[in-house]
């Protein structure tokens, strides 16, 4: 066979590992407020999937601003949903 079929050893193309964002944790006060808020939302008739989505949205807003409470995050979320 001819030498044209011999190839150089292929270097494996390994994608660089993605750098994960360093997560900011909620304070104990924020966690407590969030839990109270979610209990209230459950009593108001929110479904499990709605609650999960709502909780994640609130948590992301609360992580951005350590001073934000669950009620401020809730108002901010409702304001953004009504304008969008």
59-73 residue pLDDT tens:
999 998 888 889 999
- If you count them, how many residues does the chain have? 84
Share of the chain above pLDDT 90, in %: 51
Buried b (16+ CB within 10 A) or exposed e, 49-81: eeeeebbebbbebbeeeeebbbeebbebeeeee
Report DSSP state, residue 2.
Answer: -
Q: At 36, list the tokens.
A: 């109270």
For the whole prediction, is pTM greater than 0.85? no
Tokens at 30, concatenated: 């924020």
Structure tokens at 19: 């750098």
């Amino acid at each position: 066979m001819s030498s044209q079929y011999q190839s150089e050893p292929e270097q494996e193309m390994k994608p660089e590992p993605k750098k994960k964002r360093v997560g900011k944790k909620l304070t104990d006060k924020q966690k407590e407020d969030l839990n109270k808020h979610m209990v209230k939302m459950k009593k108001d008739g929110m479904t499990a999937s709605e609650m999960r989505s709502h909780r994640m949205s609130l948590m992301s807003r609360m992580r951005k601003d350590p001073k934000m409470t669950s009620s401020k995050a809730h108002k901010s979320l409702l304001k953004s949903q009504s304008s969008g």
